[in-house]
Amino acid sequence: MTMTTYSISDLARELDVTPRAIRFYEEQGMLAPERRGQERIYSAKDKVTLKLILRGKRIGFSLAECKELIDLYDPSSGNRKQLETFMDKIAARRAQLEQQLLDIEQMQLELDTAEERCLAALAETTA
């Protein structure tokens, strides 16, 4: 039985990420490819890990949060701890985004007020 393996360029092309990014995640201890001389050989597990990292980054998780979730991977438990932690992080991220949205809306009101004052002051200088 042969295992599917990937070179760094295969993985980069398939997941639309640079080889440099993959090396960075490796330096962070998040990927551990086999080595054949200078060549890195990535497994299907490495590919899944990289997909999880990229998904986590897309939804705003830090690398530390991504690493924590990856480290909780435990198929023997049905990944219950990983999934529960992921749900907690999703809820926290959602709350953070909702607060940012409120902050943005408040800032837009402040800009509207400043703009109205500027327009009024400009109208007075031309009158």
Q: Band the pLDDT of 46: cuts 50, 70, 90.
A: very high
CB 3 within 8 A of CB 38: no
Sign of the torsion formed by the C-alpha atoms of 85, 44, 15 and 39: positive
What's the pLDDT band for 2 if we cut at 50, 70, 90?
low
Q: Enter the tokens of residue 112.
A: 């509207």
Percent helix / strand / coil, the chain, rounded to 5:
70, 10, 20
The class (CATH top level) of 1-61 is mainly alpha
Domain boundaries, the chain: 1-61, 72-127
* Tens digit of each residue's pLDDT (9 = 90 or more) over 75-94: 788 888 889 999 999 999 99
DSSP lists the bridge partners of residue 6 as: 42
pLDDT at 126: 82
